[in-house]
Each structure stands twice: as structure tokens, then as C-alpha cells.
Amino acid sequence: MQSQTAATIGTYMVVSIDVTKFEQLKASGDLPSPKGVALAIIRLIQQEGSSMGDLARVIKTDPAFVGRLIKAANGLTGYNRRAIASVQEALMVLGLPAVRTLALGFSLLSSYRDGNCKGFDYGRYWTSCLVHALAMQAITQRTRVAAAEETFCLGLLARIGELALATLYPQDYGKVLKQTLEYRDLPLVALEQRAFALNHRELTSAMLADWGLPRIFHEPAFFSEAPEESGYADGSREFVIAHSLHLASFIAEVFLAEEAERPNLMSRLFEIGGRLAFDPVAINELCDGVVREWQAWGALLELDTLEIPPFSELASRGEAIAATLATEAKARVQHLPGESHELPVERAPMPGGANPLTLPVGMSQAMRVLIVDDDASMRALVRKVLETVGHQVLEASDGRVGMEMALEFQPQLMIVDWIMPEMSGLELTRALRQTKIGRSIYMLIMTSLDDDDRLIEAFENGVDDFMNKPINPRVLAARLRAGQRVIRLQQELDRDREEIRRFAAELAVSNRRLQEVALTDSLTGFPNRRYAIERMQQEWSVSSRTRRPLSGMVIDVDQFKTYNDSHGHDVGDAVLRQVATSIKGALRAQDIVARTGGDEFLVICPDTGLDAALACAERVRFAVESAPLTVSGQPLTMSVSIGVATRDTVMTDPDALVKRADQALYLAKNKGRNRIMTAQSLRPGPLIPPR
């Protein structure tokens, strides 16, 4: 059942999120997206004629990104080469695609360090993503299946669908995460699919594709949690990338597991690494290197890391624990006379589950207030007034510290002095108003200046209210009450907006479910004819743009009417379901299958020439023939006839391709059924008309 579900997702659900659901989510504007300098970097790289110098000038405006970029470049040069110290050198080492994706990943990390989903552990999520990225880089440096800098970016973003769902549906996704603890037999993707009519695997693949990552990356990312379901050929690039992502993900689980649990996970780690031909010694060395990089990167990105002993030591402990358990199990069996018994081994639940986040809820009248003043006595006076009425108060001694604390503490109200060293209160206000967090803070400025022009300047730069020095506590309390009324009105407006957003999100989920029903055949679970027509048109457009081959198959169940006439329609339905299961299991990951009529199916084969399509069709034919249906204790043999066609210079539209496959199906029926046919030469010449 698991492989069937995965095949359904692989052939239909990923496609569906690409062409319908994802565009609706993207239009909502709520999906995680790059901000600020990262957005400028991405846009500049997309422009024709932009130079390395132009890009370097944009990057240098963000010192934090400069440090991360140079750190990433030095991680690729090896220990025996001169360290990279400039942005230009880093750009040359990394290349534009990696720089673009690094800017994207680091921007998301900075902008989405926390959020409104109380069941989603944002800190654990990002530190896990960092391990994932570093592990992918280390694995790729050994497999050479892709550029290590690009797979670092892929690892950083490989679980972005989880963050997207937590951002889009914070309350509902929190409930889904809680359900993972209640329904341990149901995977997270199944619970997500039930709640939102999409899941994080689909969303990750769609977002990576939308951000410009090549298909060789975003498609294996969909299968990273279950690479065995992909159908990729052993040793192919897709196979290695999907299994590398799976290994990197498990390395992250080991890193973040409880200290006592890590040795128990080592045997599973070696098993997963073995699928990439890594022996235990190689895995231990790789993981030790990732630990060192993780701790260095964690300090740079301000993410929590852990002290982890050498992996060879963890492996030895794991072997000792396994030996002890085996001895105890053997001793228990020896105490049971007579027959031998196999004792079931219960695995501890994997680490990494979401921990509910409980935030303290203050009194309805209390506010979070930040005082910014270089005069300690003035801060003490204002603090006393604020705490008397129950407000939560923090202090900063200058504007720069105040800026950092405001972005972290997110106060509802700030009281700032106008004249301070390094950054004045007016400069602080102006800088905060340029950030999303700062736009909603009520700003009260203290001044000893009694100049109307200066006060007008303050209001024009974003100040909400002012107070003259020296401070009168009664006047300050009155000003606070006035500010509190404005803040309360803003909170009510925010709640109304959130309610509207939630309603829109629920409506979007309902619409997606209705759309899914409208495009799905209820008997087989395949997409229906309407979907097949839309999808064929899309693949035709992609083929025209990329000049890649496109093939199709029309499949018909042989003598289907006799099943209904001889055994009844319930057996006829069972035949269709059995045939559908066989077709699904024989197709490749990129193939799209739909039920287009009573006993007819259409398969679309992107990036596939005629020879490969015929080979795939033969697998389908053999799979159907080899899986008889049992009716009243007797096997009922089934077969299909298949017509195959590939796009050539004569065809002007997708209908012509389907019609040519139909002609081939007619030939297969006339030749005696249970066979595949094509009406084209195996060497048809140019597949796509020249532009």
C-alpha cells in the first residue's frame, strides 16, 4: 500500500501542486520568500548583462551575508589552499547559481526565525536544516554527483515545505503536528494531505522549482524522505541525490537526538550510508567533519549547536548496547521451555518531533516596552513608572543596542531619547520603520527641544508621540494610556486581518479539495480526462520551449466488456483497479497517468523518445499480464493493448500526438491484442520542429 500511495504522489500529486495549487498559494503572498538584499541579489543575477562587480557591490551592503558567503566559499576550497577573503573571490568559487540560492536560503533563515505556529520548533528546524546542508556538501564532495556548493543550498532548503505550511496555516499546522504524537501510525504527509489537500513534500518540490533550482534537484527533493519509492535507476544522478538527501536528513536526526539515544541510531545510519557505498569508517569521518562545520556555522548564524563526541565512539557504544540487548534477549528466550521464540524489538521513536511552544500570556493591559536612553537615571525613572502599572520593561543604553533588542524583543511600545551618541532617537525610529517588525511599534520620543520644526520632522520620520524633558510621571502615564489605546486598536485590526486570512486559507483548502475531486477518477484514484488534456498541453509547451522529446501511450483493457457481462460490474470495477495498480507500479517517476475513458488510460512521458517509451510500455503490458485477479477462488487473467507515439515534425498540437497513439492502439488490437505497437519509425528524424 505504501508503494502505491507513493506512486500516486509521484505521478500526480507533485504535478498537481506545480500547476494549480502552488500558483494559488503563491498568489496569496503568504509563502516564505526572500527579502531585502537577498531579493536584490536574485533580481540582479536574473538580469542580462549584470557583472560580478555589480553583484559584489550589492552584496557588500549586507555585512552579515558577506561573512556567510565567504564562509561558504572557504568550506569548498579545502585545507591546503589559500583562504578566501574577498567577495569577488567567493563569487568566482561559488558561481552565480549557488550565490543566488545561498542568498535565498540565508534570507529565509533571517526572516523566519520564529512565527505564529506554536507547535513548530523554529530553532530546531533551522539548526536541523544547517546540518542537512553541511552533510549534503560533505556527501557530494565524495560522490561528485553535483557541485558541492549547490547541494549545500539544496540541503538548506530541502524541508522548506514544512516551514511554508507553518507560515500559511499556523494554527491548523500546529494541530497537525500535535496529531503526529497521537497517531503514530500515520506519517506527517498523510496528516497534512488530509488537513490541507497538499503536503510538505509537494510544497518543497514546487517551491524549489519556482525558485529556479534545476529539475535534477527539486524532483529528488520530493523523494528524499522515501528514496526507494522514486523508481530511479541505481547509480543514476537522481538516485544518488535522493539517497544523499535521505542520508543527510538522518545525520541531522542523529545530531539533534538526545545524548543517550545517539548510539542506538548508528546502525541505521550505517545502513542508509551503505546505499551510497559508504562504509562505517567513511560515515564516521564524514560526520565528524560535519560536526566541526556545524559548530562554526552555528556561531555565524546564531543557531544553537551541541557538543557531539567522535562518531567512532558513538558506534562503539551502539555495538555494546546491541550486544547487551542480544544477550538479555537470549537469556529470556532460554527461560522459555519448549519451542523457540523470537522477541519483537521495539525501536524508540525517532527524535525530531515538534515540541509545543508555550508563550506566557500577560495581563490584557500590560505591554512590552523598550526604553532607549544613554542616561541611566532617566531610564530608571521611566522604568519605575512603567512597572508600577504592570508593564514588561527592557532597557538599552544606546540606539544601536536598542535596534537589535527591538528586532528580538518585538516591543509594542518604545520610549527613546532624541539625542544619543552614535544613533539618535530619530535615526533609530527611521531605521525601525523600514522593517516589518518596526512598522507596528508605537514610538514615543523624549526631547528637551521645544522647536515646532523639529517636532514636525520627528512625526514625518515615523514618531507617534513625544514628551518634553524633564519627565513628569503623571504626564508620562497619561501618554502611555493614549498609546495603549492605539496599540489595542492595532491589535484588534491585526486580529481581524488574521481572521480574514484564516478564512481565505480555509476557503483555499476547500477549493483545492474540490479541484482535486474534479480532476480525479474516484474508482482508480488516477487523474481524469480533464486533467489529462490540461497536462498534455502543459508538457507540449515545455517540449516546445526546451526542444526535449515527448511521448504518449494509449492503453486499453482487452475484452473488458466480457468481464462485465460474465461476472458483473463489481468484478469489472475490480479489474480496472487491478490494472491501474499494475500500470502505476510499472511506470517511472516522471510519467503521468490518467484514466480517460471506461477502460482506457493515457500515459504522458516527458523527456522520453520512442525507444524508451516502447520499453516502458512493454513493462506495463507485462505487469498487467503477470498480476491475475482472483474471483471466487479462481485466477482471472487480464491483458492490455498499448499504442505508443512520440512527437515529431508533422504534429502541430497535442491532439495529434494522442491521435497517433490511438492509431497505434488500433493496430495492436488488430494484431491480436496483449501487445504494444507504434505507427512511427523507430528513427523518426527530428522530434521537435526547429524554431
More confident residue, 390 or 78: 390
Q: Which residues contact 266 (CB under 8 A, 6 or more apart)?
A: 254, 311, 314, 315, 317, 318
Report the amino acid identity of residue 549: P
Q: What is the DSSP letter of 228?
A: G
Do you find a cis peptide bond into 470, omega within 30 degrees of 0? yes
Quick check: 530 pLDDT over 60? yes
Q: Can you tell me the distance from the alpha carbon of 371 to that of 24, in angstroms, rounded to the nearest whole number? A: 43
For domain 2-32+112-317, say whether CATH 1.10.3210.10 is its number. Answer: yes
Q: What is the pLDDT of residues 294-305, one digit of tens each?
A: 988 888 888 889
Q: Quick check: 382 and 371 in contact, CB under 8 A?
A: yes
For domain 368-493, the CATH superfamily is Response regulator (3.40.50.2300)
- Cβ-count burial of 338 within 10 angstroms (0-12 exposed, 13-18 middle, 19+ buried)? exposed
Cα separations in angstroms, 15 against 230, 260, 592, 655: 15, 42, 8, 20
More confident residue, 618 or 11: 618
Tell me which residue of 679, 386, 375, 637 sits closest to 553, measured CA to CA.
Answer: 679
- Cβ-count burial of 431 within 10 angstroms (0-12 exposed, 13-18 middle, 19+ buried)? middle
Quick check: 46 pLDDT over 60? yes
Question: What's the rounded mean pLDDT across residues 491-498?
Answer: 78
Q: What is the DSSP letter of 146?
A: S
Q: What is the DSSP letter of 233?
A: P
Share of the chain above pLDDT 70, in %: 87
Least confident range of 275-289, 336-350, 577-591: 336-350
- pTM, full prediction: 0.56
Share of the chain above pLDDT 90, in %: 31
What the block records as the C-alpha cell of 138 is 560533505
DSSP codes of every residue in 239-297: HHHHHHHHHHHHHHHHHHS-TTTHHHHHHHHHHHHHTTT--HHHHHHHHHHHHHHHHHH
Q: Can you tell me the distance from the alpha carbon of 300 to that of 127, in angstroms, rounded to the nearest whole number? A: 12
Q: Provide the pLDDT for residue 244.
A: 95
Number of C-alpha atoms within 13 angstroms, CB side, residue 556?
22
Question: What's the rounded mean pLDDT across residues 201-209?
Answer: 89
Q: Quick check: 552 and 602 in contact, CB under 8 A?
A: yes
Q: Quick check: 326 and 277 in contact, CB under 8 A?
A: no
Per-residue exposure over 72-100, b if at least 16 CB sit within 10 Å of its own CB, e if not: bbbbbeeeeeeebeebebbbebbeebbbb
Q: Can you tell me the distance from the alpha carbon of 679 to that of 56, in angstroms, rounded to the nearest whole number? A: 56
Q: Provide the pLDDT for residue 332.
A: 57
Q: What is the mean pLDDT of the chain?
A: 82
| β partners of residue 604 | 552, 592
Q: Provide the pLDDT for residue 243.
A: 95
Q: What is the pLDDT of residues 100-155, one digit of tens each?
A: 778 888 888 888 888 889 889 999 999 999 999 999 999 998 888 888 888 888 99
Q: How far from each other are the two terminal CA atoms of the chain, in whole angstroms?
A: 45
3-state SS assignment for residue 376: helix
pLDDT band at 566 (very low <50, low <70, confident <90, very high): confident
Q: Can you tell me the distance from the alpha carbon of 415 to that of 406, in angstroms, rounded to the nearest whole number? A: 11
Q: Can you tell me the distance from the alpha carbon of 225 to that of 414, in angstroms, rounded to the nearest whole number? A: 46
Cα separations in angstroms, 428 against 415, 469, 553: 11, 19, 65
More confident residue, 71 or 361: 71
Torsion, Cα 357 358 359 362, to 10 degrees, reads 170
Quick check: 450 pLDDT over 60? yes
Tell me which residue of 348, 334, 464, 375 sits closest to 411, measured CA to CA.
Answer: 464
Quick check: 272 pLDDT over 50? yes
pLDDT band at 18 (very low <50, low <70, confident <90, very high): very low
Structural domain boundaries in the chain: 2-32+112-317, 368-493, 529-678
Distance of CA 401 to the CA centre of its chain: 34
Q: Quick check: 248 and 185 in contact, CB under 8 A?
A: no
Angle (nearest 5°) at CA 247 between 244 and 252: 125
Other beta carbons less than 10 A from residue 32's beta carbon? 20
Quick check: 547 pLDDT over 80? yes
Sign, Cα dihedral of 47, 49, 52, 56: negative
Quick check: 685 pLDDT over 60? no
Torsion, Cα 534 536 540 542, to 10 degrees, reads 70
Strand spans (E) along 521-598: 550-557, 592-595
Quick check: 99 pLDDT over 60? yes
Q: What is the pLDDT of residues 355-403, one digit of tens each?
A: 332 223 333 467 889 999 988 888 888 888 888 878 889 999 888 888 8
Phi-psi region of 633 (alpha: psi -120 to 50; beta: other; left: phi over 0): left
pLDDT band at 344 (very low <50, low <70, confident <90, very high): very low
Quick check: 552 pLDDT over 90? yes
Other beta carbons less than 10 A from residue 235's beta carbon? 9
Q: What is the pLDDT of residues 630-669, one digit of tens each?
A: 888 888 889 999 999 999 989 999 999 999 999 999 999 9
Quick check: 16 pLDDT over 70? no
Q: Provide the pLDDT for residue 214.
A: 84
Cα separations in angstroms, 257 against 129, 248, 262, 355, 511: 14, 14, 6, 13, 39
Cα separations in angstroms, 107 against 104, 154, 301, 643: 5, 15, 11, 50
Phi-psi region of 255 (alpha: psi -120 to 50; beta: other; left: phi over 0): alpha
pLDDT band at 6 (very low <50, low <70, confident <90, very high): very low
pLDDT band at 255 (very low <50, low <70, confident <90, very high): very high
Enter the CATH code of domain 529-678. Answer: 3.30.70.270
Least confident range of 73-87, 159-173, 405-419, 451-465: 73-87
More confident residue, 431 or 184: 431
DSSP codes of every residue in 315-363: HHHHHHHHHHHHHHHHHHHHTS-SS--PPPPPPPPPS-PPPPP------
Question: What's the rounded mean pLDDT across residues 496-513?
Answer: 75
Strand spans (E) along 489-570: 550-557
Q: Can you tell me the distance from the alpha carbon of 203 to that of 221, in angstroms, rounded to the nearest whole number? A: 10
What are residue 674's phi and psi, to 5 degrees?
50, 50
pLDDT band at 578 (very low <50, low <70, confident <90, very high): very high
What the block records as the C-alpha cell of 428 is 533609530
More confident residue, 186 or 605: 605
Q: Provide the pLDDT for residue 240.
A: 93
Tell me which residue of 219, 172, 220 sits closest to 197, measured CA to CA.
Answer: 172
pLDDT band at 330 (very low <50, low <70, confident <90, very high): low
